[in-house]
Amino acid sequence: MGKKNKKDKASKAEKKAAKQAKKLEGKPVKTGKGETPAEVAAELVRMFNDGQWSEIEEKFWSPKITSVEGVGVAKAWKGRKAVDAKNKAWLDTHTIHSARAEGPFVGASGFAVRYSMEIEDKGNGQRTKMEEVGVYEVKDGKIVREEFMYRT
């Protein structure tokens, strides 16, 4: 009886320790079926640098994509229609003189790309060099969220 109690206590303590250790472990992050973040990332960078910008959207954007513009704008557009309208408004008022994607940097839930662009405001002709990071979340091989973060 005494022995059994000791054994029980030991195994209880062991179980407790194992449970606590398990809490400190990392849990796998999964992105579902289809292309992995690494695959989507590599293709996106290649396609961007080949000028296939609309093809990227056709190929990788989820119909439910959320697109977030960074500091100064700080807004989220939800759904393909809203994101298309946002991008069209921007392209209507800006000329892109050069654009380069660097990366990718591959995470677990998605990836990041560093962009360097030279753009011109069609309204006043002002040219600006933009440095930003695009952060992408991937689910089932599609981009479900993108956020553009600007070099300040």
**Sequence-ordered list of residues with C-beta below 8 angstroms from that of 46, at least 6 positions apart, any chain:** none
**Sequence-ordered list of residues with C-beta below 8 angstroms from that of 86, at least 6 positions apart, any chain:** 67, 69, 77
d(CA 126, CA 113): 25
Stretch that binds a copy of itself, among 10-18, 19-27, 47-55, 116-124 (CB under 8 A): 19-27
Smallest gap from Cβ 99 to a copy of itself, in A, equals 16
Query: Residue 59 is encoded by which pair of tokens?
Result: 């190929």
Q: State whether residue 122 is helix, strand or coil.
A: coil
CB closer to a copy of itself, 10 vs 29: 29
CB closer to a copy of itself, 11 vs 128: 128
Interaction residues for a copy of itself, span 80-139 (CB under 8 A): 81-82, 85-86, 103-112, 114, 131-133, 135
Tokens 């600007």 map to which residue? 150
Q: Which residues bind a copy of itself (CB under 8 A)?
A: 23-30, 37-38, 41-42, 68-71, 73-79, 81-82, 85-86, 103-112, 114, 131-133, 135, 147-152
